Structure 1
Amino acid sequence: MSEDMDNPADLVIDFVNTYDVESDADSIPTPAALATWLGERGLIRPGEVAGETDLATAVGLRDGLRAALRHDHDRPGGADGHGVGHGAGLPRAFAALPLRVTLTADGPVLEPVVTGVLGGLAEIAAAVMGTHADGMWPRLKVCAENTCQWAFVDSSKNRSRSWCSMRVCGNRAKTRAYRARRQTEPGSRHL
């Protein structure tokens, strides 16, 4: 993993956000774009080439992670940190990424068994497990605003943050709720 992505949570968030739901923009729409993205983060060596199967694996992993983050934090009571893998496609995506446990001086770590693009994607899967091991998983969320779903780290003291940005997505949700309440109030004018 590259030095600027030393934090496993940052890598997971960065990867999930390669698809911007609001603008329907995909940062990894092609195998070449996937290889570039992985290379820029030091997850593969220069010159590594991705194929269509690699891209499908990456999209499955990304979609599974977004679903897992949404599922884990939509439950009453919030995330408990035990939900890694609840995303419908996440177990299948993990199964395609061969990892092994290696004992180091700092304790056990997950490492890719293969190199290349599949190994780079396995590094992301290992980062997911790293966020769980270091207690960060419950703080990884996707924005509750359905049109956004941007992944972020909830840095609030009680892990209650719902939106990526209170200024934008939180304001949208609160404005909609206010308007809905106003329309159902007796004697309110419907504009």
Structure 2
Amino acid sequence: MQPRSPYRYLAGYPERLTAPLREMIAAGTLGARLLARYPTAHTVRTDRALYDYVGALKARYLRSAEPLSKVAYDNRLHVIQHALGMHTAVSRVQGQKLKAKREIRIAALFREAPEAFLRMIVVHELAHLKERGHDKAFYQLCTHMEPAYHQLEFDLRSYLVLLEATGERPWAPADGAP
């Protein structure tokens, strides 16, 4: 079995955008560059804080969308399976009505990431409340909620390449830190 390339996260991007990233990884400067652009990690560490964070964004942009029953970090979501976050709807029959529980789960890897990356993932999952597929309307909704959505997605993908290629985690707490 052939090892998977960390650059698969950038599949579909033109060479003019990916070539500089390859050079920065080879030179060992990509982590410092991302850290300069996004200097601090967010403080949304608990599931409760994440629920409140997502709820605030939902209340601002998607008031009429169905309520969320659960929002949590999930240790089982792995970036390797191309899941940064996940939106699920579990339906069940209750009497003569069909009830749906909506949940958002965010990969636990993003407990230690810049707020901009967390926001991009949350915006993406919230957009799925209104738009199921990744079509033009979906991305218009994402950019309505986060105007820099596409740049954040590219930077997040760059971070995933860095993480897989080198193991470097610029926002991870120092050893012994809480």
Query: Normalising by structure 1, what TM-score?
Result: 0.27
Comparing both structures, which one devotes a greater share of its residues to helix?
Answer: 2
Tell which has more relative contact order, 1 or 2 (C-alpha 8 A, sep 6+).
2
Comparing both structures, which one devotes a greater share of its residues to strand?
Answer: 2
